[in-house]
Amino acid sequence: MKRTIISIAALALVLAACSGGTTTTSAGAGSSGGSGGDASGTVVFFGYEDSFLPGVLDPFEQATGIEVKTPAFADEDETEAKLRAGFDADVVELCSGEAGSLIEAGLLQPIDTTKITDWDAIFPSFKEGEDVVDEDGNVWIVPLQGGPFGIVYLADEVDPITSYEQLFFGEYDGDIAVSEEPVSTIWDMAMALGYGPRVDDITDEQVVAAVDALIDVDRIRTTWSEDGDLIQLFATGEIVAAAHATPDIAEALQEEDINAVYVAPAEGQILWKCGHGIAADAQNVDAAYRLIDHYLSPEMQLVFAEEYGYLASNSKILDVAPPELIEELHLDDPGSVDLVTIPEGLPDNEDLWDDQWQRFAG
Amino acid sequence: MVDSRRSTTIRERSARTAPGPALTIATRRRLTAAMQIAFMTFVAFVLFGPVVILAVFSFNDSIILGFPFKGLTVSWYAEAWAEPDLWSSLAASLKVALVVTPLCLLLGIASAFALTRFRFRFRGAAGGFIALPLIIPWLIIGVGGLLFFSSTGAQLDLVTVGIMHVVIAFPLVTALLSAQLFRLDPHLHEAALDLGANERTTLRLVILPLLLPTLAASAIFVFSWSFNNFIVSFFTAGFENTFPIWVFSTLRRARDLPMVNAISTLISTAQVAFVIVAWQLLRRAMERRGQDIRDIVAG
Amino acid sequence: MTAAPDPRQEDQQLALEATYAGKRRGASRWAPWVYLSGPVAILLVFFAGPLGILAIYSFQERSRTGDGSWTFDNYVAALQPRYLETAANTVIIALVAMILLLAIAYPLAYLIAFRVGARWEIPLLLALALSDELNPLIRIYAWRTVLGRNGLINTVLEALGIIQAPLDWLIFTKFSVIVVLTASWLPYAVIPLYAAMKTIDGRVLEAARDLGAGWWVTFRKVVFPLTAAGFLATIVIVFIPLISDFAAPALVGGKSGRMLASVIEDLFLGRGQWGVGSALTFVLLAASGAVVWLSYKIADMNSLDTSR
């Protein structure tokens, strides 16, 4: 009997230790996460792994004495789930088209552009989109990088494909892949049918019609999820063309001696853009502004352009970038790269798009 | 209690008594054996084919996992070696798995012992409850865990990841051990008690040694579940990423698939090597103690 | 996990405990709970807690913004025909994969338990467990190189002249999802079946053979009834992972292999509709509970059948 009591007591202790452990961590994190306005404190930057370049973060930490904590997220959906669940962050990396639901949920705070040194130097095309600057003039994202979405095809396998209409309905042999993102793929098809091209111009009926058309296109072999996935699909002969791909895909394939070509579709390219927002309950707002300002500086913009070949939002990059790079990436005029460029955005009635998507990939 | 040579006995016996025309007994035996070998080879291909394929492509000088083979290179391994986030994520996963595995074994042993060696009210209910995490999709446990920790104000970190790994993995140990405990001869337990051992001594000296192989298999499974778990970690991790999360976020990048492949191949090789070495050591230790490991295995 | 203990062993257990009831009366009432308190407490806090929160969400209006008001709308939304279609698709894929899984795992477990000899038994079990160590995402890419249009199978078949053009249905179909699921979960099916097989006394099999029973009769009347509990445990362990996998459908499923877990993931992550997502989860759980219950009934009937 005595032994039994001792055993129970021991287990109770273990359990207490377990739950105690959790409480301690939460208390500890509280102190590390927010150090309220202290210039030499920490700033929590919740972003993609790709954005934590040492060449960008180290100079910031040295210059300001602010420590940057960088929890990485794997995709934008995770950002939303974690922020909703109360994850403490100051700066959040966001892409246009994804921020709408965060804004609606009150998870972001409007940005005071007077605290952003180069705000006025940002290309106008980067400021388009409801979730960047809304109709009331509130700024939610400071755009930093961008790039186009278009068509990639294998030039040795098919004749040039120059439009989404041709991609889906043209006369050629071979299969294609479409993006697994419902809005992207429905949008591509809507443009092929002559709707849009802006996402807000596509009506509910047109969404239904686009999904009907998608269901009827036999050559759609699969949906691709990530860039790495798409490259494998091309290289292993599964597909000859893909929608909503980036120039980088074609480049990576060319490095492997596969003759892939990126084309800006006649209907228009979609310009993706990503940048930084500030969390509604950010603990170190001052440091957040300083970090964003640092990422927007022409020097850091150049680092990203050189490392990843992204378009820069800050027009002052033209002062520091070598002329070849400016020409190669069209850094001078991101608003009109090749052809018409449509800013990426989310439809107002996203639920309808998603529900319709179920019919295609259900 | 157990005849360690049981399987061989059966084989001999069945060969001797197998009905059938005299002429074909040998042929039939050979045919059966051939079929069995073919079947096991097929299974081996299914289970290890992918590992071999990936190992081969990890030396291919191309970002494409597929033929044609472009040339030998170790550059993917070199690239992985130079990736700082990889090592911190590996360390994090290792830390979690090394804490989670013994915890799960303890919890699994305790619960399996209670469920199989005692008859008490609510036994069925307790067993069912412990089995529940096995039948709830991990996505749900992950999302639920995220909501739970955030509503209690706990900060997400490796501790929260570890806790959720314990929740999903120890019921598996309970399940595997219970199955094994049920077939242990109750008289063994009885004899131990008769000889004056109390419950815990019986557990420690009699039952646990007999469970060793199952415990080893359980440990491997739990380690693997924890080390490779993506979805639960994905939701409940904070600043530090675990290895599968690193893999997932790295695969987004266009050119990094072969690098991720190289490191995964290396890690699974290391794990296999570790288990083989551990197994050999265990066997030798047993032999020195005069026990044949097969006695325990057959137990 | 002791869902359906073998009745005979239960009897043994009962007899044992009856014998020793007097001796251990003081301790035995609480003793199991001493062992169980840790595991149960952990699950009560960190498993029932999270699920409880999800259950609350499933009855609340929480899409996008707002929280609070109680509603059944989430369940109404979750029971829409298009979700049910996906659910049916999911159950079909999972069921076929499970049948395939059992068809391979059962003989394999039998071979390991009774045929390969003690020398190979443990190494084979270890090999099985170890095959699971490869990162699952990466493993799926390996399957693409096997099943793909220019993959291993097509190349070999074409070289042998069996086919003229690559088989396109090998990948991005339900078929490829089933193959990948089966291969991924095989170890988890073999181990519990093996454990169940080992409960069979070898002498019983000998007796069956000595009495002239063929393999089918031996299987039907001896092996299967004696392993029914393990069979059931396997179904329970394997069916849920099969039904809730979404990496395989995403990477080899094409557009026809989409499964319910992808939809739930999308609802939780892509659309922030945690209410509908939770409701759909509980629908999925109810469905899989039904499958498990059904297999329990079948296994139960089978063991009753042979004990006569």
pLDDT in tens, A258-315: 999 999 898 988 888 899 999 998 989 999 999 999 999 999 999 998 888 888 899 8
Q: Answer yes or no: are the C-beta atoms of C198 and B182 closer than 8 Å.
A: no
Q: Answer yes or no: are the C-beta atoms of B25 and C220 closer than 8 Å.
A: no
Question: pLDDT higher for A26 or C32?
Answer: C32
Q: Does B272 touch chain C (CB under 8 A)?
A: yes
A215 vs chain C: nearest CA distance in angstroms?
Answer: 10
Between A25, A227, A252, which is nearest B154 by CB? A25
Contact list, C285 vs chain B (CB under 8 Å): 135-136
For A16-72, the DSSP string reads HHHHHHHHHHHHHHHHHH--TT-TTSEEEEEEEGGG--HHHHHHHHHHH-PEEE--E
Integer CA distances (angstroms), B244 to A72, C104, C170, in order: 13, 29, 28
H helical segments located in chain C: 7-28, 31-43, 49-58, 73-78, 81-110, 118-130, 136-147, 152-159, 174-197, 202-210, 215-218, 224-243, 247-252, 260-265, 274-307
Interface partners of chain C (CB pairs < 8 Å, 3 or more) are: A, B
Q: Does B120 touch chain C (CB under 8 A)?
A: yes
B43 pLDDT more than 70: yes
A25 pLDDT more than 50: no
Angle at C67 between CA C66 and CA C71, to 5 degrees: 110
Contact list, C36 vs chain B (CB under 8 Å): 110-111, 114-115, 126
CB atoms C41 and A15 under 8 Å:
yes
Domain A148-268+348-360 sits in CATH 3.40.190.10 = yes
Domain boundaries, chain C: 78-307
Question: pLDDT higher for C116 or A203?
Answer: A203
A160 pLDDT more than 50: yes
Question: pLDDT higher for B75 or A39?
Answer: B75
| B151-200 confidence digits (pLDDT tens) | 887 888 899 999 999 999 999 899 888 877 776 666 666 677 777 777 67
User: Is residue B151 included in any domain, yes or no?
Assistant: yes
Between A1, A11, A237, which is nearest C38 by CB? A11
Q: In whole angstroms, give the CA distance from residue A25 to residue C157.
A: 58
User: Is residue B20 included in any domain, yes or no?
Assistant: no
What are the two backbone dihedrals, phi and then psi, of residue A153, each rounded to the nearest 5 degrees?
-140, 165
Q: In whole angstroms, give the CA distance from residue A324 to residue A312.
A: 15
CB atoms C130 and B137 under 8 Å:
no
How many other β-carbons are positioned within 10 Å of the β-carbon of residue A148?
24
CB atoms B257 and A228 under 8 Å:
yes
Chains A & C: contacts with CB separation below 8 Å: 87
Tell me, which fold does domain C78-307 have in CATH? MetI-like fold (1.10.3720)
- DSSP E strand boundaries for chain A: 42-48, 67-69, 72-73, 91-95, 108-109, 142-154, 176-179, 220-224, 241-245, 260-263, 269-279, 311-312, 341-343
Q: Answer yes or no: are the C-beta atoms of A307 and A53 closer than 8 Å.
A: yes
Q: Does B157 touch chain A (CB under 8 A)?
A: yes
Q: Does A350 touch chain C (CB under 8 A)?
A: yes
Q: In whole angstroms, give the CA distance from residue C188 to residue B159.
A: 27
> In chain B, how many domains are there?
1
Integer CA distances (angstroms), C35 to B126, B207, C41, in order: 12, 15, 11
Name which of C93, C48, C142 is nearest C261 in CA terms: C93
CB atoms B155 and A74 under 8 Å:
no
> Which residues in chain A are classed under CATH 3.40.190.10?
42-140+272-338, 148-268+348-360
Name which of C106, A253, C84 is nearest B254 in CA terms: A253
A204 pLDDT more than 90: yes
What pLDDT band is residue B291 in, cutting at 50, 70 and 90?
A: low
Residues forming a β-bridge with A152: A242, A262
What pLDDT, on the 0 to 100 scale, is given for residue C222?
82
What pLDDT, on the 0 to 100 scale, is given for residue A39?
53
Which span out of A153-167, B233-247, B255-269, C274-288 was modeled with the highest average pLDDT? Answer: A153-167
Query: B97: domain CATH number?
Result: 1.10.3720.10
B92 vs chain C: nearest CA distance in angstroms?
Answer: 16
What pLDDT, on the 0 to 100 scale, is given for residue B92?
95
What pLDDT, on the 0 to 100 scale, is given for residue A349?
81
Tokens of A176: 């294609």
Residue C258 CB partners (closer than 8 Å, separation 6+) = A361, A362, C86, C89, C249
Predicted-complex ipTM score: 0.78
CB atoms C35 and B111 under 8 Å:
yes
What pLDDT, on the 0 to 100 scale, is given for residue A217?
94
Surface of B (209-248) touching C: CB under 8 A: 213-214, 216-217, 220-221, 224, 227-228, 230, 243-244, 247-248
| B86-104 confidence digits (pLDDT tens) | 898 999 999 999 999 999 9
CB atoms A228 and B66 under 8 Å:
no
What pLDDT band is residue A60 in, cutting at 50, 70 and 90?
A: very high
What pLDDT, on the 0 to 100 scale, is given for residue C41?
94
User: Is residue B38 included in any domain, yes or no?
Assistant: no
- Helix or strand or coil: residue A179? strand
Residues A47-71, mean pLDDT to the nearest whole number: 88
Per-residue pLDDT tens listing for chain C (308 residues): 444 444 444 455 544 444 444 344 445 677 788 889 999 999 999 999 999 988 988 888 754 444 567 888 889 888 888 788 888 888 889 999 999 999 999 999 989 888 887 778 878 888 887 887 788 888 888 999 899 988 889 989 999 999 888 888 898 988 999 999 999 899 888 987 887 787 777 788 888 878 887 777 887 888 888 887 778 778 877 887 788 787 788 888 887 777 888 888 777 776 777 788 888 888 878 877 777 777 667 656 554 444 33
| A307-330 confidence digits (pLDDT tens) | 888 888 998 998 998 888 888 777
C106 vs chain B: nearest CA distance in angstroms?
Answer: 12
CB atoms C16 and B51 under 8 Å:
no
User: Is residue B236 included in any domain, yes or no?
Assistant: yes
Q: Does B271 touch chain A (CB under 8 A)?
A: no
Contact list, C42 vs chain A (CB under 8 Å): 15, 18
A118 pLDDT more than 80: yes
Between B152, B239, B250, which is nearest A71 by CB? B239
Percent of chain A with pLDDT over 90: 44
What pLDDT, on the 0 to 100 scale, is given for residue B177?
85
Q: Does B147 touch chain A (CB under 8 A)?
A: yes
What pLDDT band is residue A140 in, cutting at 50, 70 and 90?
A: very high
What pLDDT, on the 0 to 100 scale, is given for residue C196?
79
> Where does A42-140+272-338 sit in CATH, by number?
3.40.190.10
User: How much is the mean pLDDT over chain B?
Assistant: 80
Task: Search chain A and give the residue with CA nearest B246.
Answer: A74
What pLDDT, on the 0 to 100 scale, is given for residue A4?
38
Interface partners of chain A (CB pairs < 8 Å, 3 or more) are: B, C
According to DSSP, the β-strands at A260-263 and A91-95 are unpaired
A201 pLDDT more than 80: yes
Residue B91 CB partners (closer than 8 Å, separation 6+) = none
C102 vs chain A: nearest CA distance in angstroms?
Answer: 27
What pLDDT, on the 0 to 100 scale, is given for residue B185?
62
